[in-house]
Structure 1
Amino acid sequence: MTPEHAPPPYRMTVTTPRTHRDTVALADQLLASWLKEEGHEEPPPPPPPAGPAPDAAGPPGESGQGRAGRPDGPLAERLRLGDRVLLDRDTGSLRGRIPGARYSRRRLRTPAAHGIDQLTLTVASADERPCWLRLEAEHLPTGSGVRTPSRVPVPELARSLLPLLDATDGPVALSPQPRVTARTEVDALIDELCDPERRLPVVVASVPPAVAMDTWLAEVVHPLLRHLTGLASLYVLGHAALPLFNVALEYHKVYGGAVRTYLPEVDPASRYDGGRHPVMPRHRIDEDVRRAAALLAREPRRFAAELPLPDLLAAVPVLQPPAEPRPQPVRPAGQGPAPVAGPARSTLGGADRCERQTRVDELERIRRSLDRSRRREARLLADTDQQDAVLRQVSAQVRVLTTRLCTVVGPRAVDQDELAADVRADQEGAPGSFGELVGRFTEFPLLDFTGDEKETLALDGQCDGSGWARLTWEGLTALQEYAAAAVQGRAGGDFKQWCEHTPAGCHHFPPRKAVRGESRTVASHAKWKRQRMLPVPACVDSSRRAFMGAHLRIGGGGTAPRVHYLDDCSRSGRIYVGYIGLHLTNTRTN
C-alpha cells in the first residue's frame, strides 16, 4: 500500500477545563498505570523545572530562543523502561508565539509486530484560555519488507482520559460511550449539530421501532461505535426523540437503525447540504457489525488527522530528543528505573532542528489551506446542485413546449396553468423509490440492468432515497435517448458529449455528473478495480464480467449513489447498467 493510501493515524484533539498541571499529572498517572498493566517498568515522577520558570523570559545563548522565539533547550529527559520501551518527556514555553503559553509532552515507544507503536500526548495552555490536549497514536514500520499498514486502534489512554478530563470539542461534550437522547433533548442536539464552533463530526444512531433500546445498544450500537472514541461526539436517538429529530431536520434524517455522520457546518434548511453527511444503512450493519464499525470510523479518523491544529498546539515545537543514554549502573531491585538522560540538549544540530520544524510548519499550513478549500468546495457544490434543480425544471418546460410545437395544428396560445400541470406530470412520472425504479426498468428498451438489485433497493433506506431515485431515473432516461441515437449513428460522440449538447426535446442530464471513466489510481488498484468488474452477457465478454469505469454521479458526498454502465452501442446496440448503489470504494469514500 502506498503512503497516500495508508490508514491515517489516530489523532484526538480536545479541550478541558482542568488546569495545565492537573491535566499533565492525570495523564502521567494513567500512562504509568497502563505501563504497569503491560508489564513494563513505571516511570519516576518528572523532575521539577530547574532555574527560571518556563514562562519567564531568559537571556539568549545556550538556553535562549530559536526560530520564532521558541526555546532551543526545553527541559527534556529520556527514560528506558524495558527492552525497546522508551519514554521521552519535555516541557517548555511558547513565549515567542503566544504570551504566557507553555506546553508539556510525553512520547512513548513500545515494540510491536513489524515495527514500533508510538503514542504522543501534548498539553498546551495559556493564561485565560482553555487547556488543549492532543493524543496521537501511530505505527512506525521497521525493516525493508513491504507490508500493508494496518489501522492503529483507539488507545486505551483515550478511553480513560475523556471522562476524567470532562473533554469537549468547542461546545460539544465528548464521551467514550454514546448518549441516549430523550425527546426533551432533541433541540439541544440540533443546536450542537449547527454550532459553528464545532470541529469534529457528530455521529447519531437510530433504533428500529420494533427493537428494544437496551438490546440495540448492547448488540449493535456499542460495538459499532467503539472505534470513534475521541474522534466524534456520539448520540443515540430514543424512540420518542427520533420523530421529533427527523421533523426538525427534514433534509438530514436518520431512521430505521441507520447511523449518520454529521460533519461540521450543518445547514438544516438546505436539501443539498444533506448529501455531505454520510449515512450507513442498517442492512450494511446487519451484514457484519465489525466491518461496519471499521467503515464508519474511516471518515471521522481521516477528518481528525487532516483537521488544522488550534493555535496553541500548532505553536508547540518539534520534539527534540535528548542525548542517547549512556550505560547506567544496575540499580537494586525495587528502586525503579533511573532516568537514562536528565535535562539535556538535543543531539540534533540547529540546522536539523530548523529543517524539521520547517517541514512541520509547512504541513500545518497545507492542512489549513486544505480545510479552507474543502469548505469552499462544499459551498460551491450546494450552489451548483441548486442550479441543477432549477435547470431540470426549465428543461421539463422546454420538453413540454417542444412536444406541443411538434403536434400543434395552427397557432395556439400557451396557457400557463396548463403548462405548469404538464411540467408537473412530466416530473411526477419519475419513480419515488428505487424499488419502483427497478420494477420499471423495462421502460428503457436499450438498457439492460445486470447488477445486484439488493444494492439498489438498499438505497431506499437512505434519508434522500426518493430524491436520488428521481435523479437516477433522469440519468437512465437520458442514457436511453442517447442509446437510441447512438445505434443510428446520430449521437455525435459519447454520453458525456451528448449531455453537453443535448438535442432539443430530449432529457438533459448535467454534464458534470456524467463521468467517462475512473481515475488512474482507481483503475490500477486491484481491489477497487475488482469492485467495478460488473456482470455482462457472454456475448459482450466470455468471462461475463467487464470493467465499468463510466458512471453517473447521483448526488454529492463520499457515499452518494453511482450508476456504473458499459456503453456497447457500437457492437450489441445496448448499454449495460452493472451497478446502482452507494459509491464504490476509492480514495475519498467512507
Structure 2
Amino acid sequence: MTPEHAPPPYRMTVTTPRTHRDTVALADQLLATWLKQEGHEEPPPPAERAAPAEQPGPAEAAERLRLGERVLLDRDTGGLRGRIPGARYSRRRLRTPAAHGIDQLTLTVASAGDRPSWVRLEAEHLPTGSGVRTSSRVPVPELARGLLPLLDATDGPVAMSVQPRVIARGEVDELIDELCDPERRLPVVIASVPPAVAMDVWLAEVVHPLLRQLTGLASLHVLGHAALPLFNVALEYHKVYGGAVRTYLPEVDPASRYDGARHPVMPRHRIDEDVRRAAALLAREPRRFAAELPLPDLLAAVPVLQPPVEPRPAHSRPARSEQPSARAAARPAVPGQASAPGGADRCERQSRADELERVRRSLDHSRRREARLLVETDEQDAVLRHVSAQVRALATRLCTLAGPGAVDHAGLAAEVGAEEEAAPGTFGELVCRFPEFPLLEFTGDEKETLALDGQCDGSGWARLTWEGLTALQEYAAAAVRGEAGGDFKQWCEHTPAGCHHFPPRKAVRGESRTVTSHGKWKRQRMLPVPACVDSSRRAFMGAHLRIGGGGTAPRVHYLDDCSRSGRIYVGYIGLHLTNTRTN
C-alpha cells in the first residue's frame, strides 16, 4: 500500500481535570495491567523526580526498560520547551513485536499550573524492511478504553466516553450547545433510533458495534425517541433520523442550510447491509481528522524523545546518583530505528517535529477556510439561481406587456416562486416526473434513487438534482441542433441567456485516473444503456453532477450520446460511488 493511501494512525487528544501525578499514575497502572495480561514483565514504579521548578530542563530523566523479547518501554519526564512556568510533561512509549514490524504506543501527559492536563495517546504500526506499510488499520488501544472513564476526559465542553450517551428530552438543548461550542476540536457522532425499534435492542445490536471504533476520536451520542423530534426541529438543516448516524464536524452553523453538507450522514440501509463495514467507514473521517489536527500548545511544547543507551531489565533500578540524560545515545534495539549519535541528531528530529506541526496548523487553517468558502459558494449559487429565475420570468412577461410601467411585481414574484416550487421535493416525485425531460433517459436503478429520500437533506438534494437535469435537457436540445458550443461543463460555464444555470464546479467531465484504473470502482460506473448505444448494454459513465458536498453526497452519472442517438442516458442517481475517499 502506498504511503498516501495507508490508514492513519490512532491519535486521541483529550483533557482531564485530574492532576498531572494522578493522571500518570492511572496510566502506569493500566499499562502494567495490560502488559501482565499479555504475558510480559511488569515495569517497576518510576523513581521519584524533582519538582518542576527544580528541573534543569526538558527530558532530564529518561530510562528504557526491557520487559521481554523485543518489548521495550521508554519513560521520560521534564519541563516543556519555552520555559512555561510550572509546566511539565511525562511520556511512556511502549514497543511490542508485530507481524511485519513493531506496534508502538505512546502516551504523553502535559500540564501547567492549575489548568486541565492534556493527554495524548498514539498507536501506530512501524513497518520493517523496505518500509512498505500494511493495509490493516491500527485498532483502538485497550488503554484508551480504560483511560477515558477514569480520567473524566473531555474535548473542550464535551465529555468523552467509551459508550454513547443516550440523550433524553430535557438534554437536547445541552447537546446543541455542545455541537456549536467554538472550543470543540473533535467530531460529535449522533445516532438515531428507528421509531418502531426498542432503544435497548438498537443499542445492543447496532449502535454499540457501529461506534466501537470511535473511542477517543469523537463524542458519542444516541437520540432517544422523545429527544429526536426536538433535535430535528431545532436543527432544521442538520437533521438525523430513521436509524441513520451523522458525524458533526466542529463549527456547526445551525442557521445555514448549506453548512449541513459538511457533516456526513450514514444511512440506515448501509448500516443494515454490513454493520462491521459500516463501522469502518464511519471511523474513517474522525480518525483522519484526529491524526491531522494540530497539537494544543502544551503538547506541542513537549520535546522529542531521547532514549537512553542501554535497556535495563525491568527488575533493576538505577542508582540515585545516575544521570540518564548524560548517557550518549546508542543504536536502538528495535528494527527500523535510525541511530542517534548525539545532540545534533536530536536537534534535527526536533526540527522535523516542529515543521510537521507547522504543516498541521497550516493544513487545518486551509481546510477551515475551504469549508467556509464552499458554504458561501453554495449560498451564492442559490441566490444566482433565484435571480436567474427572476430574469427568465421577467423576459417572458416583457414580451407580452403593452408598454413600460406595466410590470406587475407581485405577479412576477409569484411566477418566480411558482417556478421554484415546481421542482420536486422528493426523489420519488423526481423519478415519476422524469418523462418531463424528453431528451434524457433514466436507465438506472430506482431503488438507489428512492433511498435518498431517507437522507437528512433529501429534499434539498432532490431540488438540486432537478435543476441539474433541467440544465442537461436544455443542453441536449442545443447539442442536437449543433448549437451547444462544447460539452455540458462548457455549457454551464457559458449558459445562454434564458436557460437554467447549473454551477460549473458541480459538473464533472470524468473520473480520476485512480478510479478508472481500479477494476471494482470502474465496474460500478459501467451503467445500463440501450443496445443501440452498446451491444453489451453497459457503458462507462464517468461524467457526473455533484449534488451536495462531502464524500457520500449524491451524484448523477450520465452518458452524453447527443452526437449519435440524440439523447443523454442517466445511469445512476444515488449516494457517491466508491472512490479513494469513500471506500
Same fold per TM (> 0.5)?
yes
The match for 1:219 is: 205
Distance 1:405 1:482 in 2: 25
Of residues 484, 499, 508, the one that matches 1:491 is: 484
The match for 1:56 is: 54
Structure 1 residue 32 and structure 2 residue 32: aligned?
A: yes
Deviation of 1:384 after TM superposition, in Å, equals: 1.4
Please say if residues 92 and 104 of structure 1, whose CA atoms lie closer than 8 Å, have aligned partners that are also in contact. Answer: yes
The match for 2:174 is: 188
Deviation of 1:454 after TM superposition, in Å, equals: 2.2
Distance 1:223 1:237 in 2: 17
Distance 1:504 1:535 in 2: 34
Q: Identity across aligned pairs (percent)? A: 87
Structure 1 residue 198 and structure 2 residue 184: aligned?
A: yes
Please say if residues 80 and 339 of structure 1, whose CA atoms lie closer than 8 Å, have aligned partners that are also in contact. Answer: no
The match for 1:45 is: 45
Distance 2:503 2:401 in 1: 33
CA RMSD of aligned residues (A): 2.1
Amino acid across the alignment from 1:40: H
After superposition, residues 71-470 of structure 1 pair within 5 angstroms as 71=58, 74-94=60-80, 96-144=82-130, 148-325=134-311, 337-338=315-316, 343-344=324-325, 345=327, 346-347=329-330, 348=340, 349-405=342-398, 408=400, 410-411=402-403, 413-470=406-463
Deviation of 1:80 after TM superposition, in Å, equals: 1.4
Distance 1:37 1:355 in 2: 38
Amino acid across the alignment from 1:219: E
The match for 2:539 is: 546
Q: Aligned with 1:125: secondary structure?
A: strand
Deviation of 1:122 after TM superposition, in Å, equals: 0.5
* Structure 1 alignment gaps of length 5 or more: 59-64, 66-70, 329-335
Amino acid across the alignment from 1:44: P
Distance 1:305 1:279 in 2: 21
When residues 214 and 446 of structure 1 are mapped into structure 2, their CA distance, relative to the original with a 3 A threshold, is same
Amino acid across the alignment from 2:84: I
Distance 2:98 2:528 in 1: 43
- Which stretch shows the higher mean deviation, 474-483 or 570-579? 570-579
Please say if residues 228 and 241 of structure 2, whose CA atoms lie closer than 8 Å, have aligned partners that are also in contact. Answer: yes
Q: Per-residue CA shift, 1:513-535, capped at 9, x if unaligned?
A: 11222334444444444433333
Amino acid across the alignment from 1:471: L
Structure 1 residue 556 and structure 2 residue 549: aligned?
A: yes
Q: Aligned with 2:15: secondary structure?
A: strand
- Which stretch shows the higher mean deviation, 540-549 or 91-100? 540-549
Distance 2:447 2:205 in 1: 24
Q: TM-score, normalization: structure 2?
A: 0.93
Please say if residues 57 and 95 of structure 1, whose CA atoms lie closer than 8 Å, have aligned partners that are also in contact. Answer: no
Q: Aligned with 1:81: secondary structure?
A: strand
Deviation of 1:409 after TM superposition, in Å, equals: 7.3
The match for 1:61 is: none
Deviation of 1:57 after TM superposition, in Å, equals: 5.6
Please say if residues 55 and 78 of structure 2, whose CA atoms lie closer than 8 Å, have aligned partners that are also in contact. Answer: no
Q: Aligned with 1:236: secondary structure?
A: strand
Deviation of 1:455 after TM superposition, in Å, equals: 2.1
Q: Per-residue CA shift, 1:57-77, capped at 9, x if unaligned?
A: 64xxxxxx6xxxxx3x53111
Amino acid across the alignment from 2:199: M
Q: TM-score, normalization: structure 1?
A: 0.92
Please say if residues 80 and 340 of structure 1, whose CA atoms lie closer than 8 Å, have aligned partners that are also in contact. Answer: no
Distance 1:145 1:382 in 2: 40
The match for 1:62 is: none
Amino acid across the alignment from 1:5: H
Q: Aligned with 1:309: secondary structure?
A: coil
Structure 1 residue 531 and structure 2 residue 529: aligned?
A: no
Please say if residues 2 and 132 of structure 2, whose CA atoms lie closer than 8 Å, have aligned partners that are also in contact. Answer: no
The match for 1:68 is: none
Please say if residues 10 and 138 of structure 2, whose CA atoms lie closer than 8 Å, have aligned partners that are also in contact. Answer: yes
Distance 2:578 2:111 in 1: 40
* Structure 2 alignment gaps of length 5 or more: 331-339
Amino acid across the alignment from 2:54: A
When residues 340 and 524 of structure 1 are mapped into structure 2, their CA distance, relative to the original with a 3 A threshold, is farther
Amino acid across the alignment from 2:277: R
Please say if residues 80 and 337 of structure 1, whose CA atoms lie closer than 8 Å, have aligned partners that are also in contact. Answer: no
Distance 1:57 1:163 in 2: 31
Distance 1:215 1:325 in 2: 51
Please say if residues 81 and 301 of structure 2, whose CA atoms lie closer than 8 Å, have aligned partners that are also in contact. Answer: no
Distance 2:567 2:31 in 1: 64
Deviation of 1:509 after TM superposition, in Å, equals: 0.8
Deviation of 1:541 after TM superposition, in Å, equals: 3.8
Structure 1 residue 567 and structure 2 residue 565: aligned?
A: no
When residues 544 and 107 of structure 1 are mapped into structure 2, their CA distance, relative to the original with a 3 A threshold, is farther
Distance 2:205 2:398 in 1: 62
When residues 78 and 526 of structure 1 are mapped into structure 2, their CA distance, relative to the original with a 3 A threshold, is farther
When residues 380 and 485 of structure 1 are mapped into structure 2, their CA distance, relative to the original with a 3 A threshold, is same
Distance 1:449 1:44 in 2: 70
Amino acid across the alignment from 1:56: E
Q: Per-residue CA shift, 1:237-280, capped at 9, x if unaligned?
A: 11111111111111111111111111111111111111111111
Amino acid across the alignment from 1:26: L
Amino acid across the alignment from 1:14: V
Distance 2:227 2:442 in 1: 40
Q: Per-residue CA shift, 1:63-100, capped at 9, x if unaligned?
A: xx6xxxxx3x5311111111221111111111534222
Distance 1:103 1:177 in 2: 29
Amino acid across the alignment from 1:199: R
Of residues 507, 512, 529, the one that matches 2:505 is: 512
Distance 2:288 2:131 in 1: 26
Please say if residues 81 and 303 of structure 2, whose CA atoms lie closer than 8 Å, have aligned partners that are also in contact. Answer: no
The match for 2:13 is: 13
Q: Aligned with 1:225: secondary structure?
A: helix
Distance 1:518 1:217 in 2: 39
Deviation of 1:355 after TM superposition, in Å, equals: 1.5
Q: Per-residue CA shift, 1:187-212, capped at 9, x if unaligned?
A: 11111111111111111111111111
Distance 1:30 1:283 in 2: 39
When residues 539 and 2 of structure 1 are mapped into structure 2, their CA distance, relative to the original with a 3 A threshold, is farther
When residues 467 and 121 of structure 1 are mapped into structure 2, their CA distance, relative to the original with a 3 A threshold, is same
When residues 340 and 41 of structure 1 are mapped into structure 2, their CA distance, relative to the original with a 3 A threshold, is farther
- Which stretch shows the higher mean deviation, 525-534 or 35-44? 525-534
Deviation of 1:120 after TM superposition, in Å, equals: 0.7
Distance 2:318 2:566 in 1: 77
Deviation of 1:574 after TM superposition, in Å, equals: 1.9
Q: Aligned with 2:216: secondary structure?
A: coil
Amino acid across the alignment from 2:69: D
Paired residues in the alignment total 567
Structure 1 residue 23 and structure 2 residue 23: aligned?
A: yes
Deviation of 1:552 after TM superposition, in Å, equals: 1.2
